[in-house]
Amino acid sequence: MFEKILIANRGEIALRINRACHEMGIKTVAVHSTADADAMHVRLADEAVCIGSPLAKDSYLNKAAIISAALITGADAIHPGYGFLSENADFAEMVEEHGLTFIGPTPKMIRLMGDKITAKKSAIEAGLPVVPGSKGSVDTIEQAIQTAHEIGYPIIIKASAGGGGKGMKIAFNDEELKEMYPIARREAKSNFANDIVYMEKYLQNPRHIEIQVLADTHGNVVHLGERDCSLQRHNQKVLEESPSPALNKEQRQKIGSIVCNAMKNLGYSSVGTIEFLYENGEFYFMEMNTRIQVEHPVTEMVTGIDIIQEQIRVANGAVLDLTQEDVHFDGFAIECRINAENPETFIPSAGKVTTWHAPGGLWVRVDSEVYAGYVIPPYYDSMIAKLIVFGRTRNSCLMRLKRALEEFVIEGVQTTIPLHQKIIAQPDFIDGQYNIHWLENFLKKQEEIKREEETSSQSGEK
């Protein structure tokens, strides 16, 4: 087993990896920017190395500085977490070239799945169901119109190198396509330095369902069930749950088996997540994330499997000690992403946390490195905590989540806790009747209600 792992990340995921390593008897090295000198993952790691100034490009994206830190401290491996360099094939190659282990899939696999066009082609070859779309890149508006007529409107234009909803545009007819196509290419160029786009049929009311897989380097693959990630704002996940209220046992087994066979066909190893759109009983492959996911804790709660520890063992060459028959799904889990943002405008709220009281009790988990007195820096993602709860039934899980959100006290900065409290009180959510558009429609209605109340109040004053 590895003796020392450098954690090339920050925030809650760096702390999560640090804990997994220590439970395995592995020493850790934290890297940090000058803005994160007092971060909890830095305090709890066995060693810490400052790798640059606050901007991510000068620290957490500084490949040379991270590898130098690993070599100086005598680390055996580097765990990239999620975000930053976790899906950067060049970085994975550099790690291997310096005699270190990259805790993740091979650089070749990262490249394959990092490009949305090649990923879709590979998915088809591996046997995954896909959304009807262009056979490759769409390079001209004439080609775009022809493709739209072949697959039928509405269509969605996507950046080949994209992610996070950037470079995505929807068109319902030729005129809209002529307008949106150049905008999508400009956004792709601006965000990813790559203006290649492709097109797919636009599913109007799907759910976002993803399958967690775990594969070793010996050809063994198991799936750990699904997560429903349909509650999104601007294509960014807000709340996730497992299992999905939309699937039954037979559907779960069917899509899980399909995914495992596909991963074997691809020769994939490490943890990974295959994301689908799900509509009218059908799954359509969207993309694959070749890393640990933010929402992995809900899967851990319902399976009892420490996914990060398994990821580390696999990276060290171990054979999976799990078969599919060993994976059992018990109960329900929900995760709320708590962001340091205004819960209505979503403007980031950096600053000093004056009060911090995390909820507790049976089957309540909080993944965060925040503490009273911690100063949230303005340079990084605004997520500061993940609240994960478990229940034997979905209703008991919801009641526990309601109680936990009421207990959660964070003062000094604004957070999205009030938004989560509103979401879980809605009948649609309680009944599990939601899709990827539900949250944005809900937020629009909330804004309309607020405007009407303000107008009524102003009229009353007059």
Residue 199 and residue 330: Cα distance in Å, rounded?
Answer: 39
Name the nearest CA neighbour of 50 among 329, 398, 62: 62
Residue 267 and residue 449: Cα distance in Å, rounded?
Answer: 52
* Cis amide prior to 297 (ω within 30 degrees): no
Contacts 24+ apart (CB under 8 A), 263-267: 263/126, 263/213, 263/215, 263/221, 264/215, 264/219, 264/221, 265/125, 265/126, 265/127, 266/109, 266/112, 266/122, 266/126, 267/109, 267/219
Residue 270 and residue 439: Cα distance in Å, rounded?
Answer: 32
Residue 138 and residue 148: Cα distance in Å, rounded?
Answer: 11
φ, ψ at 238 (rounded to 5°): -115, -40
The 3-state DSSP class for residue 399 equals helix
- Report CA-CA distances (Å) from 286 to 162, 268, 429: 12, 17, 24
Amino acid at 287: E
* Residue of 16, 111, 227, 291 marked catalytic: 291
Q: What is the DSSP letter of 320?
A: P
Amino acid at 293: Q
- Interstrand relation of 47-52 and 27-33 (parallel, antiparallel or unpaired): parallel
Please identify which residue in the block is written with the tokens 């690993």.
70
Whether 207 is catalytic: no
Residue 329 and residue 326: Cα distance in Å, rounded?
Answer: 10
- Report CA-CA distances (Å) from 353 to 126, 373, 411: 48, 5, 6
φ, ψ at 276 (rounded to 5°): -125, 155
Which residues does the annotation mark as catalytic?
291
